[in-house]
């Protein structure tokens, strides 16, 4: 890995070394055209090929059935928090949300600006240290949709299975765990993710949307915030974030080369079990605050006995080449984000460092 850091950043986050090298190779001259991909029209054949191939790769990797569209949007996942109620929360209907942590809270708050909302289940009483049981999730009978946050990046809790909603559209924020494991996409009417955790660099938000969701949207929504406009124009209504989409293209090709999602999921579980294993075998030196049944395979949160020791852990980890292990400022503690691009070797090095730190401080 040369002088590459052990990168556990939460987002933007690690990208595969091979992807960065390929991008570097193609930066000045893309496929022999005498220009960078950033210097050509988004309506050119060369760009169009990248755009469509990226959609195709995503369909293939996620086994997306027909009847879905892949959209490339801007404004991050945070803009989706507003676009969802603007497009789908019609008067007289209710937007139902499962409250699982900081990101779910932001999604609900945005929906409250546009209409009535309801909390279908919440783990707030447990400080969001678990995902509610599927049987506890009760969407309002008058719901327009049920919104879930597949993985709470800050707390480190992740849905292990998804609710069955029948004909009620299920919408998921998968910003921090998209393509980390196999998912039955057909259960969802909309899956969205900001790219900068598990898909590529920031600047593009991927939406996987069921075509039937694009019918009869309210007339008074601004053009750029309409899923139907982006759908009709294949995400080329205006200039898309060309370079970010190109980088997502390279990441998807890399995932395919790894052997697809079954292999990637297995590796993610191996990576995280190294670190969770170290926590569980530490005799209480390290503490995983999240319920074992809800532990995330993307963001591992853990604590030490006191904040002084946590500060020392962060400082010493940095001296040893680890980056991004400080927990989110809102919850404190420590967090290792182990996205797809974080190599097994980085996780092994972290588990070893944790064991050594315990020997010296336990
Ligand atoms: C990072 C994150 C967001 C916010 O993403 P932006 O692209 O910065 O708006 C939303 N939801 C989840 C689960 C996240 O991890």
- 241 close to ligand 1 (CB < 6 Angstrom): no
Residues 4, 321: contact at Cβ < 8 Å?
no
Residue 238 is labelled as binding a ligand: yes
Q: Which atom of ligand 1 is nearest to the CA of 76?
A: 7
Q: Which atom of ligand 1 is nearest to the CA of 81?
A: 10
Whether 103 is a known active-site residue: answer yes
Domains of the chain: 18-258 (3.40.640.10), 260-361 (3.90.1150.10)
Ligand 1 site-directed mutation target among 75, 76, 77, most atoms within 8 Å of CB:
77
- Phi-psi group of 139: left, alpha or beta (phi > 0 → left; psi -120 to 50 → alpha; rest → beta): beta
CA 85 to chain CA centroid, Å, is 20
**pTM for the predicted model, two decimal places:** 0.98
pLDDT of 1 over the 80 cut: no
DSSP secondary structure of 122-135: E-GGGTT-SPPPGG
Q: Which atom of ligand 1 is nearest to the CA of 196?
A: 7
Query: What tens digit of pLDDT does each residue of 121-130 get?
Result: 999 999 999 9
Q: Nearest to residue 78, comparing CAs of 116, 55, 111, 36? A: 111
Q: How many angstroms is it from 4 CA to the middle of ligand 1?
A: 25
Residue 151 is labelled as binding a ligand: no
Query: What tens digit of pLDDT does each residue of 270-305 get?
Result: 999 999 999 999 999 999 999 999 999 999 999 999
Other residues' Cβ atoms within 10 Å of the Cβ of residue 97: 27
Whether 292 is a known active-site residue: answer no
Query: What tens digit of pLDDT does each residue of 346-362 get?
Result: 999 999 999 999 999 98
pLDDT of 246 over the 90 cut: yes
Tokens of 269: 């579980």
């Amino acid at each position: 890995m040369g002088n590459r850091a052990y990168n556990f950043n939460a987002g933007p986050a690690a990208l595969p070394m091979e992807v960065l090298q390929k991008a570097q190779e193609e930066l000045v001259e893309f496929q022999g055209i005498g220009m960078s991909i950033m210097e050509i029209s988004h309506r050119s054949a060369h760009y169009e090929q990248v755009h469509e191939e990226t959609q195709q790769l995503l369909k293939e990797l996620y086994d997306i059935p027909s009847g879905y569209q892949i959209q490339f949007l801007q404004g991050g996942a945070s803009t989706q928090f507003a676009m969802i109620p603007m497009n789908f929360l019609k008067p007289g209907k209710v937007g139902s949300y499962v409250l699982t942590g900081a990101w779910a809270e932001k999604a609900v708050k945005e929906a409250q600006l546009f209409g009535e909302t309801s909390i279908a289940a919440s783990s707030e009483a447990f400080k969001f240290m678990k995902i509610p049981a599927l049987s506890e999730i009760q969407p309002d009978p008058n719901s327009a949709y049920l919104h879930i946050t597949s993985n709470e990046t800050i707390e480190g809790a992740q849905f292990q299975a998804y609710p069955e909603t029948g004909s009620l559209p299920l919408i998921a924020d998968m910003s921090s765990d998209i393509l980390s494991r196999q998912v039955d996409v057909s259960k969802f009417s909309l899956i969205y993710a900001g790219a900068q955790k598990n898909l590529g660099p920031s600047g593009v938000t991927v939406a996987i949307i069921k075509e039937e969701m694009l019918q009869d949207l309210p007339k008074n929504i601004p053009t750029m915030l309409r899923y139907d406009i982006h759908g009709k124009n294949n995400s080329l209504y205006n200039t898309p974030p060309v370079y970010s989409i190109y980088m997502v293209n390279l990441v998807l090709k890399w995932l395919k080369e790894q052997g697809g999602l079954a292999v990637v999921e297995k590796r993610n579980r191996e990576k995280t079990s190294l670190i969770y294993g170290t926590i569980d075998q530490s005799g209480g030196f390290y503490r995983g605050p999240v319920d074992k049944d809800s532990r995330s395979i993307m963001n591992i949160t853990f604590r030490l006995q006191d904040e002084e020791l946590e500060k020392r852990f962060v400082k010493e980890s940095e001296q040893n080449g680890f980056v991004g292990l400080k927990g989110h400022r809102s919850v404190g503690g420590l967090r290792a984000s182990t996205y797809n691009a974080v190599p097994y070797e980085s996780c092994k090095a972290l588990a070893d460092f944790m064991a050594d730190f315990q020997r010296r401080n336990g």
